[in-house]
Amino acid sequence: MKKIIVPVDFSKHSEYALKAAASLAKNYNATIYALHMLDIQEVTLTESEIYQQEKAIFFLKLAEKKFKNFLKKKYLEAVKVVPVIKHYKVFSEVNAIAKEVEADIIIMGSHGASGLKEFFVGSNTEKVVRYSELPVLVIKNEMLNTDFSDIVIASDFSEESIPAFKKLLKTLDFLKAKKHILYVNLPNEDFKTTSEMETMANNFLMKAEGNRDRLINVNYICDRSIEKGILNFSNAVGADLISVITHGRKGLSHIFAGSIAEDITNHSTLPIITIKI
């Protein structure tokens, strides 16, 4: 891990992410790219082009000053921080910035959501999780340390998720943590017997890594939903990080099918790392 993107909106949750990123950066000599997305509202048709330019420059200078003051943190003193301000209005553009600087991971704060607000409004964090091609580490609370030692890796053992699974393992390798691979068995038409789940795990690991060495860390749990199964298992084993592979659904497919990764990101108090298929 050499380059970390941290979106900053000056909230306490973005500072939680910045603190976590600083801790990791110190441990692994990484550079933090602190990214502020400057949202300049649409101008009216009656405004002249000169006025529009003056308005943009004014808000840019204001953001630069506020950003500079925000980054004057003691925990950043020994860390290389590159401030980046971009004229974007939507957080789906974070992926483009990450590609531009060749970042390894995005670390982002989130307060979560529930009910109508979650369905109709969503959150910037959800949008980043949905669009990003990089792993996204979502921080929910202020973390005293980032010494992750027990990580739950949720998997459906599907063949299409193998590239993302391998990429996720590569991303997590630097942590040297115990990894619990988890399959959630649902009491519906997709219910699997023990032998069926074991066969799925065998085939998946052989295709993903060419061996079954990780079978010792494969766990099966039955629950009423995948989200509940992941959260209940994580609490039971005392995990300090949950990792989820997401399909990154957009548009109508997202509205109708939903996203397990986004649901867990919204409702878990633990930090979450996601990666898109």
The domain spanning residue 132 has which CATH number?
3.40.50.620
The count of structural domains within the chain is 2
Q: Are residues 271 and 245 in the same domain?
A: yes
Residue 118 counted as domain residue = no
Q: What is the pLDDT of residues 186-213, one digit of tens each?
A: 998 889 999 999 999 999 999 999 999 9
Q: What is the pLDDT of residues 52-75, one digit of tens each?
A: 677 667 777 887 888 888 899 999
Mean pLDDT over all residues of the chain?
84
Residue 117 counted as domain residue = no
Largest CA distance in the chain: 70
Q: Are residues 8 and 130 in the same domain?
A: yes
Q: At residue 20, does pLDDT exceed 70?
A: yes
pLDDT band at 151 (very low <50, low <70, confident <90, very high): very high
pTM: 0.84
Q: Are residues 264 and 168 in the same domain?
A: yes
More confident residue, 52 or 235: 235
Q: Are residues 169 and 130 in the same domain?
A: no
Mention every residue, 6+ apart, whose C-beta is less than 8 A from residue 134.
5, 95, 98, 103, 104, 105, 106, 275
Q: Are residues 134 and 152 in the same domain?
A: no
More confident residue, 218 or 92: 218
Q: Are residues 159 and 98 in the same domain?
A: no
Q: Measure the CA angle with vertex 169, ends 219 and 31; round to 5°.
A: 140
Domain that holds residue 46: 1-112+124-139
Q: Give 42's DSSP letter.
A: P
Q: At residue 40, does pLDDT exceed 90?
A: no
Check if the beta carbon of residue 240 is closer than 8 Å to that of residue 106: no
Question: How many other CB atoms sit within 10 Å of the CB of residue 171?
Answer: 18
Residue 79 counted as domain residue = yes
Q: Are residues 69 and 199 in the same domain?
A: no
